[in-house]
């Protein structure tokens, strides 16, 4: 007697067709860096709202713009080292193993070392001002990644736009000529889209600076580069603030400390071995430790160095030196040979 029912046999599974197979994750170094850059400009670009208003990047947009731009910078700079020779990417080239390199099991050199190798070994000439922005970006990324970051949106936009501009030039002049022919069309297509949106970002920054021109021209003799955003918009004297990114300092001493750090970064960009922090002096006018050696980029002589007090905005183009190494104002009395700090100590002893 047969069973009243019989189990229906399960259909034999069909072989997985090519259309259902997942695409493998494959990003050659240059295309990988360009993919990061595409993400950066997507986060930074202003989209238009339905009512025609611009939608500015959100704090989250700026966060990922910084993180992805730093990643793009590391990938693209090291891609050029790899084009010269793969061992240059390894932290200690003398102990490099090709097997470990191809499997990703190695320590790579840091950004500063990468830049130094690109200049000293590969022989590339890189713009010092843009390298300064690259190093500042590394500091911003570390602050954001490890202990949080509170920074003006305008400062982040200006900083990232400068680094983006540097990277697109770097790709075109130093990377693309060595990219395999099969990848060049993809590289060109990616760069075209990135360049178009970057133009929108840089135009917004230029428009903002143009709107500040009249205000800044009125105080050009006391306006220097802001250590926060890099724009020539930090005006000395109360209130000590950057007119571009709105960063403010509570006093001249704090502003001077940040400014000399920025000056050190600029010096390292020009010469990797020049990493000494420029000195801060006591101001002969207000007696505050806020006097720095600076250039005012908005004047007719943007490379002429002066001594500027960021606290009281006093300008000195000629000062003498005290025996302690400090500066003193002896323009009107050349017999004065000690600075205010030494004078205070002598008065205390008396």
C-alpha torsion 303→309→314→320, nearest 10: -80
pLDDT at 152: 76
Residue 269, H or E segment? helix 252-270
Is the confidence at residue 229, as pLDDT, over 60?
Answer: yes
Range with lowest mean pLDDT among 205-214, 245-254, 280-289, 323-332: 323-332
For residue 234, the SS3 value is strand
Residue 14 lies in a domain: no
Strand runs labelled E in the chain: 47-48, 54-55, 223-225, 232-235, 241-242, 291-295, 305-309, 315-316, 320-321, 327-328
Residue 6 lies in a domain: no
Residue 161 lies in a domain: yes
CA dist 201 and 66 (Å) reads 15
Same domain? 47 vs 30: yes
Range with lowest mean pLDDT among 117-121, 153-157, 207-211, 213-217: 153-157
Beta bridge partners of 320: 328
Same domain? 154 vs 268: no
Same domain? 185 vs 278: no
Residue 20 lies in a domain: no
pLDDT at 25: 47
Same domain? 208 vs 245: no
pTM metric for this prediction? 0.65
Beta bridge partners of 242: 234
Range with lowest mean pLDDT among 234-243, 258-267, 303-312: 258-267
* Enclosing domain of residue 138: 26-213
pLDDT higher for 104 or 269? 104
pLDDT at 149: 67
Total structural domains within the chain: 3
Tokens found for residue 335: 């017999």
Same domain? 82 vs 171: yes
Residue 136 lies in a domain: yes
pLDDT at 51: 46
Residue at which a domain ends, from 155, 183, 213: 213
- Look up residue 21 and give its DSSP letter: S
Give how far the C-alpha of residue 47 lies from the chain's centroid of Cα atoms, to the nearest Å: 24
Same domain? 137 vs 86: yes
Residue 12 lies in a domain: no
Same domain? 100 vs 161: yes
Same domain? 54 vs 121: yes
Is the confidence at residue 117, as pLDDT, over 90?
Answer: yes
Beta strand 291-295 with 327-328: parallel, antiparallel or unpaired? Answer: unpaired
Q: Would you place residue 334 in the very low, low, confident or very high pLDDT band (cuts 50, 70, 90)?
A: low
pLDDT at 262: 84
In percent, the amount of the chain with pLDDT more than 70 equals: 82
Residue at which a domain ends, from 213, 247, 280: 213
pLDDT at 114: 92
Residue 2 lies in a domain: no
Residues whose CB is less than 8 angstroms from the CB of residue 39 and which lie 6 or more positions away in sequence, other chains included: 64, 65, 68
Average pLDDT over residues 20-32: 67
Average pLDDT over residues 20-31: 65
Same domain? 232 vs 143: no
Average pLDDT over residues 298-307: 92
Same domain? 63 vs 171: yes
Residue 265, H or E segment? helix 252-270
- What sign does the CA torsion over 133, 137, 139, 140 have? positive
Cis peptide before 137 (omega within 30 of 0): no
In tens, the pLDDT along 121-167 reads: 999 988 887 788 888 888 888 877 776 666 777 888 888 888 888 88
Residue 156 lies in a domain: yes
Average pLDDT over residues 24-51: 74
Residue 334 CA: distances (Å) to CA of 28, 301, 328: 66, 28, 10
Residue at which a domain ends, from 183, 198, 213: 213
Same domain? 150 vs 231: no
Q: 78: buried, middle or exposed (CB in 10 Å: 19+, 13-18, 0-12)? A: buried
Residue 242 CA: distances (Å) to CA of 149, 208, 223, 306: 18, 13, 9, 19
Q: What angle do CA 78, 59, 71 make, to 5 degrees?
A: 10
Q: Would you place residue 2 in the very low, low, confident or very high pLDDT band (cuts 50, 70, 90)?
A: very low
Same domain? 256 vs 348: no
């Amino acid at each position: 007697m047969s069973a009243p029912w019989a189990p229906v046999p399960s259909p034999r599974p069909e072989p997985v067709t090519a259309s259902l197979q997942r695409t493998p994750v494959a990003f050659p170094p240059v295309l990988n860096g360009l993919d990061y850059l595409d993400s950066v400009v997507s986060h930074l670009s202003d989209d238009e709202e339905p009512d025609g208003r611009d939608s500015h990047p959100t704090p989250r947009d700026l966060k990922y713009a910084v993180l992805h731009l730093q990643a793009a910078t590391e990938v693209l700079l090291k891609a050029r080292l790899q084009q010269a020779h793969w061992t240059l990417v390894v932290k200690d080239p003398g102990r490099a193993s090709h097997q470990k390199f191809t499997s990703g099991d190695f320590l790579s050199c840091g950004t500063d070392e990468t830049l130094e190798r690109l200049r000293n070994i590969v022989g590339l000439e890189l713009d010092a001002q843009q390298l300064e922005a690259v190093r500042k970006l590394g500091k911003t990324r570390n602050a954001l990644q490890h202990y949080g970051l509170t920074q003006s949106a305008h400062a982040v936009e200006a900083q990232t736009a400068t680094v983006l501009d540097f990277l697109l030039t770097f790709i075109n002049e130093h990377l693309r000529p060595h990219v395999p022919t099969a990848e060049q069309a993809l590289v060109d297509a990616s760069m075209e889209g990135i360049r178009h949106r970057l133009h929108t970002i840089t135009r917004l920054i230029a428009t903002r600076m143009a709107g500040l021109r009249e205000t800044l021209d009125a105080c050009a003799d006391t306006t220097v580069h802001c250590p926060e955003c890099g724009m020539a918009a930090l005006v000395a004297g109360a209130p000590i603030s950057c007119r571009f990114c709105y960063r403010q300092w509570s006093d001249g001493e704090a502003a001077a400390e940040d400014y000399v750090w920025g000056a050190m970064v600029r010096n390292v960009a020009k010469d990797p071995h020049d990493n000494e922090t420029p000195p801060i002096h006591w101001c002969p006018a207000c007696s505050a430790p806020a006097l720095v050696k600076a250039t005012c980029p908005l004047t007719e002589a943007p490379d002429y160095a002066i001594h500027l007090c960021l606290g009281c905005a006093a300008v000195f183009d000629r000062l003498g030196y005290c025996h302690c190494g400090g500066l003193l104002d002896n323009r009107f009395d050349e017999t004065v040979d000690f600075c205010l700090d030494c004078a205070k100590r002598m008065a205390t002893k008396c």
